[in-house]
Amino acid sequence: MSVVVAGIGETQMGKYPHRGLHEMIQQAGFAAIKESRVDPDRISAAYIGNFNGQQLASQGHFGPLAMESLGLSHVPALRVEGACASGGLALLQGVEAIRSGRHSAVLVGGVEKMTHQNTATVTHALTSAMDIEFEANTGLTFPGSFALIAHRYFHEYRNIQSEMAQVAVNAHDNALLNPNAQMHKKIDVDKVLSSPRIADPLGLYDCSLVTDGAAFMVLVSEELAAEIGSSNGHRRVKITGSGHGGDALSLHGKKSMTTFSSSLSAAQQAYSQADLKPEHIDLAEVHDCFTITQIINTEDLGFFKKGQGADAVAEGVTARDGAMPINTSGGLKAKGHPIGATGISQAVEIVTQIRGEAGDRQVRKADKGLTHNLGGTAGTCVINIFEGA
């Protein structure tokens, strides 16, 4: 059974230390509900992605918080947490709720407030998504983890720092055309390669952003979508395949550091459910928490052979005007990474592209799109496939 995306909404991603959770939820949530033209009384469940509200915003219990903010206190809601995949997992819960037949209209969303805290506090909060006893307590951070992954990739294949730099350049170029992106800054390969090292070989521009923001979607059954009609003028977009994969929390617990098992599993599920193959996908939003990660992800998703993802970047294949556009929104790298909202924000971009409403960043062919959302050091992966009707 397909699930129809009836409405989308998101905030501009950025640094808003004086902007509250309620305000961000209201901006994105009300926009999604209004666009959907679904009577709010018909929304019977909600799933809200949030990673670390307790540490970063001293706020838990995000389900009722979001619903009260939106004037829907009677709607049962729950917070969904899976580190950086929290938003993708919230979306997955909504998809499954519609497919089960129990609900005909649900609200899914995500929100994170981070930038009001100092770097040390944010870093401490983020490390809770890795193994504290065996990793964080030794001094390991996520830039360190993915730096180790990059070095292992260099060992197994070749040094691809220049191609990683091009990943960052592409992200910034795309974000310049996205009014909701956090980072509107033109860069070049030399700037990336000469930037301060965060964890060698990762420099400042190889790393995603600390971001405040929210994103929401209204999902409905095909029956309710037919009842609502399409007079709002948007092309109808369905979610036809979903996957949820898992792997070890720790880096040392994985069978491979250069192939993420959680991605392979989630991709297999999603492609099978949608009855599609990687070559059928027109564009994708993948989890580029670091530039090396985007390259590995595109290989794991089957877009390119192992060891050849960097070649595709160098040849322009993954650019916005390339044969396989990746992260047209700017990605986590430049659109921003509002952790609990990231997976939903990725979906907002794919829906916008399939509708043909992406403006100057619109790709030539956007009939089938994919979102790929990782949690932690790829311990969790959620993939959703979207198709235009």
Q: Where are the domains of the chain?
A: 3-117+210-228
pLDDT of residue 233: 80
Task: Identify the CATH assignment for 3-117+210-228 out of 3.40.47.10, 3.30.930.10, 3.40.50.300, 3.40.50.800.
Answer: 3.40.47.10
Instruction: Tell me the whole-structure pTM to 2 decimals.
Output: 0.98
Q: Is the peptide bond before 201 cis (omega within 30 degrees of 0)?
A: yes
Which among 84, 207, 289, 381 is annotated as catalytic? 84
Which of 234, 337, 372, 381 is catalytic? The answer is: 337
10-residue mean pLDDT series, the chain (389 residues): 93 96 98 97 98 95 98 98 98 98 98 95 94 96 98 98 98 98 98 98 98 98 89 87 98 97 98 98 98 98 98 98 98 98 98 98 98 98 97
155 vs 180: CA distance, rounded Å: 38
At 203-259, the pLDDT tens digits run 999 999 999 999 999 999 999 999 988 656 899 999 999 999 999 999 999 999 999
CA-CA-CA-CA torsion sign (171, 177, 182, 183): positive
- The answer to whether 110 touches 87, Cβ cutoff 8 Å, is yes
Helix-helix angle 291-300:261-274, to 10 degrees: 50
Helices within 70-203 (DSSP H only): 86-99, 119-127, 142-156, 161-175, 189-193
pLDDT at 230: 63
> Catalytic: 207?
no
Is 155 noted as a catalytic residue in this protein? no
Task: State residue 129's pLDDT score.
Answer: 97
